[in-house]
Amino acid sequence: MPILHAHGVLLDIEGTTSSIRYVYDVLFPFARSSLRDFLSRRWNDAAVRRARELIAKDAGDASHSGWTEDKVAAEVLRLMDGDIKATGLKELQGLIWDEGYSAGRLSSHVYDDVPSALKGWAEHGKDIRIYSSGSIGAQKVFFKYTAAGDLTKFLRGHYDTTTGPKREAASYARIAADMQLLPNDVLFCSDVVAELDAARAAGMQTVLTLRPGNAPQPVGHGHAEVQSFGAIEMA
């Protein structure tokens, strides 16, 4: 059992707090099936305009002027088909999911050990935050509407790709600075060794989560491994 001395806990979502299958089998299909109706109804909403601007920027256009509903929808589907983690796509997906969660059409999966771990860490004064490729808005509604209830009360912050790529050490250095902690006082948990390598290069403590259905990771990676957050003892 890893015994870790850390005041900050930084968590990935897919394959760490929640099943990858929930994201690919529930959230992504919901965004795809709701896309055109959502764009039609909320095209001129300020948040949707911002997402459209980001999608156009990601595609290399200086402006979203001239981007019709059909063009946006086609670009979103292209990005989803390629599993491309573009900022604009994630922003729009988050808005679609927010509507679905609020309407009671979605309920997030979290592993059974997650609620008790978050509660216990929070009660011991740990600063728990999320770092995911999904937008900050999507992260917030994800943890608000879980099958175990609202878990946002245990979380102090969220980071997405606007902070930086998850496989670059500089991103983790920025996060530690924002948390007002030294990197070695932060534990990062993820199911991806390349992300853990980047966090470790920034000075963070690291744990690889081995959840059912996760992709195999390189052997000899040198990170502690757990199958459950219950195996992590926080000093």
pLDDT, tens digit (0-9, with 9 covering 90-100), for 146-188: 999 999 999 999 999 999 999 999 999 999 999 999 999 999 9
29-56 pLDDT, tens digit each: 999 999 999 999 999 999 999 999 999 9
Q: Give the separation between CA 28 and CA 93, rounded to whole angstroms.
A: 8
Domains in the chain and their CATH numbers?
3-18+108-234 (3.40.50.1000), 23-102 (1.10.720.60)
Give residues with Cβ within 8 angstroms of 144, minimum separation 6: 101, 150, 151, 152
Residues 97-138 have pLDDT tens digits of 999 999 999 999 999 999 999 999 999 999 999 999 999 999
Decide: 105 and 145 in contact? Cβ < 8 Å.
Answer: no
Euclidean distance between CA atoms 17 and 26, whole angstroms: 16
pTM score over 0.85: yes
Is the model's pLDDT at 63 over the cut of 90? no
